[in-house]
Amino acid sequence: MEILTQHLQAMADAVDFPLMDRWLEDHVDVPIVATAFYLFLVHVVRDSYMKGRPAYHLRGLNIMWNLFLSFFSFVGAYYCVPRLYEIVTAPVISGLEPSSLRYVANMTAAMRRNIVIPDDFREGVDAVGVRGSLDTSLCVYKDDVYRRNISGLLCLAFMFSKIPEMFDTAFLVFQKKPVIFLHWYHHVTVMLYCWHAWISPTSSGLWFVCMNFSVHAIMYFYYFIAACGYGKLVRPFAPLITFLQIAQMVVGSAIAVYVYYMDQFGDGCDCRSSNAKLALMMYISYFVLFSQFFRNRYIKKKPKPSVPSTISSAAPSLSADKKTQ
């Protein structure tokens, strides 16, 4: 991993993050256009173009796609989760720019309640530290907390990845597999939310990134194994993956409630209330839909079919589980 770390650090050093922030703010049309093309794929290409046509054989591409996404998610979790752990537990968080920590009076309320002030501190000369805590990880927004260096590079890649991840649906459409509401609704909403979260002060964003990377690393590896022809071998793990997705929605909802409460009624939180409300609505809707899916797929008893059916799928038991935030 040392070689990978060196390459990622070199890439992070080459990225002009402030420029990227401005570019994303100036190009909010990109996710809207991506949504339009995506819905065209789901509701026009699937129902019109593919109707009456034979399914494409995309197994090889599907195998490589799932392996790539699993590896990408694993790398993201490998570097981002330790950073989140530091932000939650460290006596003083590392990697923060000292020049921005010298003027306590100009800090937000969330930052002030989590700073560590040296005994000989002089305003404008010495820098304070920021302690790690759960409140810091949820309410303190500062660019170099998680939007710079390797973690920032991977968070940026995470945000952009939500557009190419829509190829998940293309594989289903061109192989004539079912595309249920949960599948395409999740793709659209998570992509739009991630773009909005990046251009907004989102103090809790690293939590969402780490949860998603971690679940996706497992989920896409499952699909890789299944696409290789070992679906029956890994099928017992399908309920566990869906359970992890539901757990992610529970934690995400709790985070959104905490952030919104602290911003509106508590001691302050470095976020936009609109983003916190969007996160809450998104996670609650996911919780309902994934719970319903779990119940219908793994708990509710189904009558045995009179004629055996076969499922031609790269991921036989989770064709609709394929989405987490």
Catalytic residues: 186
Q: Output Rg (C-alpha) for the chain, integer angstroms.
A: 22
Q: What are 247's two structure tokens?
A: 């757990």
Q: How far is CA 25 from the centre of its chain?
A: 19
CA 176, 180, 181, 183 torsion: positive or negative? negative
The C-alpha atoms of residue 236 and residue 218 are separated, in whole angstroms, by: 14
Give the Cα separation of 142 and 268 in Å (integer): 14
Number of neighbours of residue 29 by Cβ within 10 angstroms: 8
User: What stretches of 92-161 show up as alpha helix (H) in DSSP?
Assistant: 109-112, 134-139, 143-146, 149-161
Rounded to an integer, what distance in angstroms lies between the CA atom of residue 195 and that of residue 198? 5
Phi–psi pair at 201, nearest 5 degrees: -65, 105
DSSP 129: E
